[in-house]
Chain A
């Protein structure tokens, strides 16, 4: 038989126990959610720090906001199967869609003001597995860790004198990227740029062997160097017009080169290039067949999250893909909620 109902004294004690359990559980949830840890680097903080001084532009990506869509295919030559069992490396043409873009949070930024050009890419294999990537033309990333990237983003807002100099002094790895960014070797076409993963990923072959790999899409179009001054004369949005005309005239191609790390190569640090002479495999050709404006294009509402990988490729000890995935999701959540601020339309006009 049940015990008799408890007396008033123990009822009070029991209520206290119940309250303590509820408060404790809520506190534990709040702690896990970071509400009690204002110093934790969250995706929200990282994304907010990307915003230009005038604030984020609603409806657009929070970084690499200026871009244009393409569709085409990835023609695999089968060589990649030596490194990864992912079906996209098996000989054949796999449908691709993507986005040429500029590394700026401002979709209206003039082309000449942005050194970093990017490529968002999705390749779908015949088994339905999806591979997404977001790559840039720089040969290295500016910093070694997501935390350092957050610091870098906050430099412009800093009141401290010589904040940038202090940052560079504290982050010597910045110099390689800094030197590239200052070099006058611009091109006037998205089609003449290489696009590098920078981050390392683990490729698993059919036998289960794993290797750390970085990859690049190398342009077939030879780069024609142009000074920033001469490039500026072509207008603030010449890149999108140029790639539209160029692809309308003929499909554009890039070779996918997979580079395998030697033991001891820095796989966890995209600010450090791997030495020359590493084993590399040409896995196929990206063929860009059609350009479409972003507003109505197929790339618009895609998150080119670098952790969306097919079986046969996975994240390595590089801390960036995870941080990027968290930040890109936040950016995607924000911009899809603001879709009405970036209406669909059929012309480029309203930009």
Chain B
């Protein structure tokens, strides 16, 4: 475990894993919907918008929880560059959780599209209609979506590196299940 066997709180872990599932689903829904002309296009796009906005709301909650509960410290023997990479990548992940939904919403606003979610919930336009803005935001949503996917892959690789190779308790701090003192030794 991390020093003192500290873990993220149950709420933090629940948020982490449910949001991870939602965000990973969003990558697949995104690339799947823009490459199909089948009838599923319509529900996929509606799901993409609804789930994307839900992620934005959950990210707000998560940031609040994070500010209150903090995070367990990283192992003291973790080399400085790895420590830096961990912190920077977490900033990046948090940033993209907010940026992608906002960009999607802004892009649709700049394209004069109504933003209607499941349940008939209609969001207001957050930008005026403008073709140059639409293109800029489209590009940002597109490239940052793939950057987000790459960052999640790196994050998963790092998590597994902690779990399988370093076995330093970092993974257990966020593991969905397992006892407080547990970690791999309790298996």
Contact = CB atoms under 8 A, between A and B. Distances in A.
Nearest to A14: B164
A250 interface: no
Interface in B21-42: 27-28, 31-42
B37 A43 contact: yes
A42 B36 contact: yes
B27 A5 contact: no
Contacts of A321: 42
Nearest to A300: B131
Interface in A74-130: 128-130
Interface residues of A, number: 54
B113 interface: yes
B97 to A, nearest CB: 18
B156 A22 contact: yes
A248 interface: no
A339 B27 contact: no
Given A15-B165, A322-B37, A3 B138 contact: no
Contact of B149 (A29, A311, A336, A339): A29
Nearest to B122: A128
Contacts of B164: 6, 10, 14, 17-18
A303 B113 contact: yes
B35 A42 contact: yes
A323 B167 contact: no
Given A21-B156, A33-B32, A308-B113, A5 B37 contact: no
B42 A315 contact: yes
Most buried by A among B114, B122, B129, B183: B114
Contacts of A1: 1, 183, 185
A18 B164 CA distance: 9
Given A29-B31, A129-B122, A327 B129 contact: no
Contact of B167 (A5, A17, A22): A5
Chain B: interface secondary structure? Answer: helix
Interface string B105-140: 000000111100000101000000111101100100
A224 interface: no
Interface string A289-307: 0000000000001110101
Contact of A43 (B34, B135, B183): B34
Contact of B42 (A44, A325, A327, A339): A325
Contact of B183 (A2, A17, A33, A315): A2
Contacts of A44: 35
B73 interface: no
Contacts of A41: 37
Contacts of A46: 37
Contact of A339 (B41, B114, B131): B131
B37 A327 contact: yes
A333 B138 contact: yes
Interface string A17-33: 11001100110110011
Contact of A319 (B35, B39, B169): B39
B153 interface: yes
A258 B25 CA distance: 39
Interface residues of B, number: 45
A21 to B, nearest CB: 7
Contacts of A301: 111-112, 129-131, 134
A128 B125 CA distance: 11
A184 interface: no
A311 B185 contact: no
A28 B32 CA distance: 11
B161 A18 contact: yes
Contacts of B183: 1-3
Contacts of A323: 37-38, 41
B85 interface: no
B166 interface: yes
Contacts of B172: 2
Nearest to A149: B37
A146 interface: yes
Contacts of B1: 1-2
Contacts of B132: 336, 339
A332 interface: yes
Given A28-B28, A302-B112, 12 more contacts: A1-B185, A5-B168, A21-B156, A42-B36, A301-B131, A311-B120, A322-B37, A322-B38, A322-B41, A326-B34, A336-B131, A336-B134
25 contacts: A2-B1, A2-B168, A2-B169, A10-B164, A14-B164, A17-B160, A17-B164, A21-B156, A26-B153, A28-B28, A32-B31, A34-B35, A41-B37, A42-B37, A46-B37, A129-B122, A315-B42, A317-B39, A319-B39, A322-B38, A326-B33, A326-B34, A333-B135, A336-B134, A339-B132
Interface of A: 1-6, 10-11, 14-15, 17-18, 21-22, 25-26, 28-29, 32-34, 40-44, 46, 128-130, 146, 301-303, 305, 307-308, 311, 315, 317, 319, 321-323, 325-327, 329, 332-333, 335-337, 339
